[in-house]
Structure 1
Amino acid sequence: MDLINLSDLIDIAEENKYTVEYIEKDYFLTVLLYFLKDIDGLYFKGGTALNKIFLNQKRLSEDLDFTTKLEISELKKIIGKIVAENKPFFIKEEYDKQLNDFIRIKIYYKSFFSTSSYIWLDFNRRPTLLLEPEKYVLPNFYSLDFQITTLNKKELFAEKLCATITRNQPRDYFDLYFILKNDSIDLKLTEKKLLSADKKLDFNMIFKNANKIYSRWKDDISKLTNYNLGYIECIKFLDSKLRK
């Protein structure tokens, strides 16, 4: 695989109405997923998986999340090998946080604009898979044709609802809005996921910290999307869907 050239990145950014810096990060995210696609025991998940595979890329992302059955030591070897064998794309990896069942890795890529651009990767051994993972084609702007093993769609949707209930991230609200625009979420599955984390299915938690979400909405969302979804429109829609 050859490294994309800057003029092509600029064309893609202009065509899709994103800044070229964020399209560049999305490109290296996609390349990294390509190199990870054949690793057994690795299951792509999170907002990046949702938006790339199921939400028609409503927003870009800055990180990659995986549930895994692999040992942390094995993951470090895999990532180290990918970086070492693909120097046209990546510079180095750093281990930011490591526990027995979790590791966060920072991978620096060869940006046209900065010497310190990087991607976060989270690998988590803790979650229990409730449904069988599936392989999906990964749509992208760069003509890279491949599939990747991903959490089952229903489980991915349920995890997003769990995240919206248990943390205060504008991106979760944004993603949940577009899920519920065209689909539904299995609430029994969501309850099971929450129970495993000693949490309850309480929609009021989504709206409890609304002011915090509002204050961070523009800074967190606007740089990652070309969709003009305002906070008020989003929260009213979620209220109509979840507290009806």
Structure 2
Amino acid sequence: MLERRQLQELTRISGFNLYQTEKDYLQHVFLLFLSTESEKELVFKGGTALQKVYGLNRFSLDLDFTSTNGDDEEIMKRIAEDMEDFGYNTKVSRTEKFKDISETFVLKVQGPLFDGTDRSITTLRVEVSLRRDLILKPDAKEIVPIYPDVRPYLLLVMRLDEILAEKMRAILYRGRPSDLYDLWFLLKKNVKMDVNLVNAKLRYYKMTFNREELKTKVLEMEKRWMAELKPITSFTPPFEKVLNELKP
């Protein structure tokens, strides 16, 4: 268990503020126990996977997974018990299921900054996709946290080219600046876009990749770019810079 003083010292390494650092720490504790409770049932993906595994400098609120065939609710209960044993009072406070598309688990954790008040309880949101649309064999990745009481752990992580395809789908379907930022990060890492992979991801929504539609969605983000990204990134590039670097 960490104390408030230790968390404050670790903010200099994490690049996050104190409360973001607490959530980042508790996300790592959650993932550590996931690695022991789930073998192949949940595949880590999304912006938080990019941040935890590949060094994305964007704070991500939710933990995103694709479910393969496991009993996800039972896994969440076991992880909550493990976090209790680790020293942090943890409850699975809510479970939401949206048809056969997704499942959301909300964990309430009394972390290092808990002072006895409800507002100091940390919320961990776990988003699980039930689409069963994992296409590529995931990679097994070792994650080495900066936190001294969280040992390295191994997780199944979605391949970068498949994460890119899902980010492209997210931009076309919902259009959030954070998804564009993540896409820019992936392209800077020389991850190539596979149009067939993108179309496979879009098929669920009866959509196909369209470059002009993508351009329209991207331009719509300009007004929200700084406002949405500045609180969650250590450095927010100008929208024009990202736009120019995304052009073929």
Equivalents in 2 of 1:15, 1:99: separation in Å? 38
Secondary structure of residue in 2 paired with 1:37: helix
Task: Label 1:206 to 1:11 Cα distance change in 2 as closer, same or farther (>3 A).
Answer: farther
Give the Cα–Cα distance (whole angstroms) in 2 for the partners of residues 81 and 96 of structure 1. Answer: 15
Query: Of 131, 137, 141, which aligns to 2:136?
Result: 131
Whether contact under 8 Å (2:171, 2:217) holds in the other structure is no
- Is 1:78 matched up with 2:75? yes
Q: Does the alignment pair 1:29 with 2:37?
A: no
The count of corresponding residues between Structure 1 and Structure 2 is 235
Q: Which residue of 2 aligns with 1:182?
A: 189
Give the AA of the match of 1:53: V
User: Quick one: which amino acid aligns to residue 154 of structure 1?
Assistant: D
Query: How far apart in 1 are the matches of 2:205 and 2:197?
Result: 13
Residue in 2 aligned with 1:213?
A: 221
User: Shift of residue 13 of structure 1?
Assistant: 0.7
Q: Is the 8 A contact 1:28 1:89 kept in 2?
A: no
- Please show how residues 105-124 of structure 1 align to structure 2 within 5 Å: 105-111=105-111, 112=113, 114-124=119-129
Alignment correspondent of 2:2? 4
Unmatched 5+ stretches in structure 2: none
User: How far is the alpha carbon of 1:95 from its aligned partner?
Assistant: 2.3
In structure 1, distance between residues paired with 2:161 and 2:50: 11
Secondary structure of the 1:104 match is: strand
Counterpart residue identity of residue 185, structure 2 = F
Q: Which residue does 2:97 correspond to in 1?
A: 98
Distance of 1:119 and 1:36 partners within structure 2? 13
Percent identity (aligned): 24
Provide the rounded CA distance (Å) in 2 between the counterparts of 1:136 and 1:197: 30
After TM superposition, the score normalised by the length of structure 1 is: 0.87
- CA RMSD of superposed structures (Å): 2.1
Query: What runs of 5+ residues in structure 1 fail to find an aligned partner?
Result: none
| Equivalent residue number for residue 47 of structure 2 | 47
Deviation at 1:225, TM superposition (A): 1.4
1:86 partner SS: helix
Provide the C-alpha distance between the structure 2 equivalents of 1:133 and 1:154, rounded to a whole number of angstroms.
11
Q: Aligned letter for 2:206?
A: D
Task: Give the aligned residue type for 1:62.
Answer: L
Residue deviations 1:15-63, cap 9 Å, x none? Answer: 3432111111111111111111130311111111122223x13212111
Q: Alpha carbons of 1:201 and 1:90: their partners in 2 closer, same or farther (altered >3 Å)?
A: farther
Q: CA deviation at 1:212?
A: 4.5
After TM superposition, give the deviation of residue 100 of structure 1 in Å: 5.1
1:120 aligned counterpart, secondary structure: strand
Equivalent residue of 2:120, what SS?
coil
Find the aligned partners of 1:139 and 1:194 in 2 and give their Cα distance. 33
169-178 vs 208-217, which moves further: 208-217
The worse-fitting range, judged by mean Cα deviation, of 117-126 and 186-195 is 186-195
Separation in structure 1 between the aligned mates of residue 15 and residue 75 of structure 2, nearest angstrom: 35
Q: TM (normalized to structure 2)?
A: 0.85
Which deviates more from structure 2 when the two are superposed, residues 189-198 or residues 31-40?
A: 189-198
Cα deviation, residue 216, structure 1: 2.5
Q: Distance in 2 between matches of 1:127 and 1:205?
A: 26
Paired amino acid for 1:223: P
Deviation at 1:157, TM superposition (A): 2.0
